[in-house]
Structure 1
C-alpha cells in the first residue's frame, strides 16, 4: 500500500515536472481563465441584466448626489465638487463591476465534494481559482464596463483623464485592489470547510464592503472618528483608492503611500490564504475527504 502511494506521488511529480519544463503548466492556468470567460458567454440574459443593473445604480447614485449638491458647488471638507462627485459615483460603480466578487465557487465545490477532484490535479488550487476569477473579470471588462462607460460618457457631463499618470496609478491600484478582493473572497469561501452555513459570513462580508469600500459614499464624507477604522480595513483599497486615483482626487505622495498600503495588504492576505488553505486541506484529510 505504501509502495502504491509512493508510486502515485512520483507519477504526480513527474507530471508536474513535465508540465513545468515544457511550458504547458503555465498555459493551463491561461486555459482556466479562458474557459471561465467562455462559460460566462453562455449566460447571455445575465449579461444584459448586468449592464442594466449597472446603469440603473449609476443613475440612482448620480441623482442622489445631484440632489445633495443642489444649490452648492462643493461639500465642505470633502474635497469633491458637484462635478467630481458625479464622476466618482460613475467610475466607482464601473470599478465595482469590473471585479469578480464570486466566493460561491469554493463553497459550492466543498458542499458537493468536487473540491477533492481539484486537489488531485497537478496544479495549485489557489492559482486555479485566481485564473477562473481573472476570466470572469475579463468578461466583465469587455461585456459590461465598455458599454456602460460608453453610455455614461454620452449621458453625463464627464470626461476621461488626459494625464498618463492617472492611468498608470489607476492600473496599479486596480490590480492590487483586484488581488485584495479576490483573496478576501477566497478566505470567505474557505469557511465552508468548517461550517455548512456560510450565508451569514457572506452577508457580513457584503455589508462590510458596501459600508467601507467607498462605493456608495466616498471615504472623505466619513466622520473623523470613523477614518481610523476605515483605514485599518482592506475594503477602501479595493474600490475607493483606484477610483480616487483615476479621477485625480488623490495624487502625488499620498497616491504612492496608498499603493504601498495596497501592496502590504496583498502580501498579508496572501500569507493568510496560504495558511488557511493548508489548514483546510488538513481538515479535509482528517474528515476522510
Structure 2
C-alpha cells in the first residue's frame, strides 16, 4: 500500500528536497495555487495511482486464489473507508518528512528513519497481531498503524465491521492532528525558504 506512493514520489522528483536542491521550490510559492494545496493535489494523484496498482494486484490475487475477498459486504465497505483515511495519514506523514528539507541539508536520514518506522509499526513487514501484547498496544495507536494495519485488519475480518468505529475515529483523529501540524510546518517553511543562499 505504501510502496506505490514511495515509488511515485521518487520517480516524479516533486519533493521539497529535490526542488530546494535545484532552486525551483520558489515556484511553489509564487503560483496562484498555494504550495500546500499544490502538494495536496499531487499527493491525491500519487494515492490514486498507487490505489490503481493495488486494485490490479488484488484482482490478480483473487483470480489466482491467492487472496480471499472480505468476509462480508459491510467489511468491504469499512475497508474502503479505512483505506481512504489511511492514505490521508500516509500522505501527511510523508509530507511532514518532506518538509524537514527546509531545515536540513538533506532529508535522506529522516526519510530512512520514518520509512523503517512506517514499515515496522504499520504492520507492513509483520502484521501487528503477531507483536508482543505491550508493543502491539502501543503500535496500534500510532499513526503508522492507521495506514496499513487498520484497513488490512478490517479486510481480513480481524476487526469486525460492526466494531470498526473506534478504529475509524482514531484514523480520522490522526488525519486532523497531522493536517494541523503540517499546516503549521508549511507556514514556518514559507518563512524559512532559502534558495541558492538568497
Work out whether the TM-score is over 0.5.
Answer: yes
CA contact (8 A) 1:111 1:196 kept: no
- Partners of 2:93 and 2:196 lie apart in 1 by 25
> Which of the two has higher C-alpha Rg?
1
- Residue 260 of structure 1 pairs with residue 169 of structure 2: yes
User: Partner residue of 1:125?
Assistant: 35
- Report how far residue 206 of structure 1 moved: 0.9
Give the length in aligned residue pairs.
193
Question: Structure with the greater relative contact order (CA < 8 A, sep ≥ 6): 1 or 2?
Answer: 2
Structure 2 residue matching 1:269: 3-state secondary structure: helix
CA contact (8 A) 1:111 1:192 kept: no
Residue in structure 2 matching 1:242, options 130, 147, 151: 151
- Partners of 1:151 and 1:171 lie apart in 2 by 18
User: Partner residue of 2:98?
Assistant: 189
User: Partner residue of 1:173?
Assistant: 82
- Is there any run of 5+ residues in structure 1 with no aligned partner, and where? 1-94
Q: TM-score, normalized by length of structure 2?
A: 0.87
User: Structure 1 residues 107, 285: closer, same or farther in 2, change over 3 A?
Assistant: closer
- Report how far residue 188 of structure 1 moved: 0.6
1:83-232 map, 5 Å: 95-97=1-3, 100-101=5-6, 102=9, 105-142=15-52, 144-161=53-70, 163-232=72-141
Q: TM-score, normalized by length of structure 1?
A: 0.61
- Is there any run of 5+ residues in structure 2 with no aligned partner, and where? none
- Partners of 2:67 and 2:84 lie apart in 1 by 24
- Partners of 2:173 and 2:98 lie apart in 1 by 22
CA contact (8 A) 2:75 2:161 kept: no
User: Structure 1 residues 280, 223: closer, same or farther in 2, change over 3 A?
Assistant: same
User: Structure 1 residues 157, 284: closer, same or farther in 2, change over 3 A?
Assistant: closer
- Report how far residue 226 of structure 1 moved: 0.9
RMSD: 2.3
CA contact (8 A) 1:245 1:251 kept: yes
- Partners of 2:54 and 2:115 lie apart in 1 by 21
- Residue 281 of structure 1 pairs with residue 186 of structure 2: no
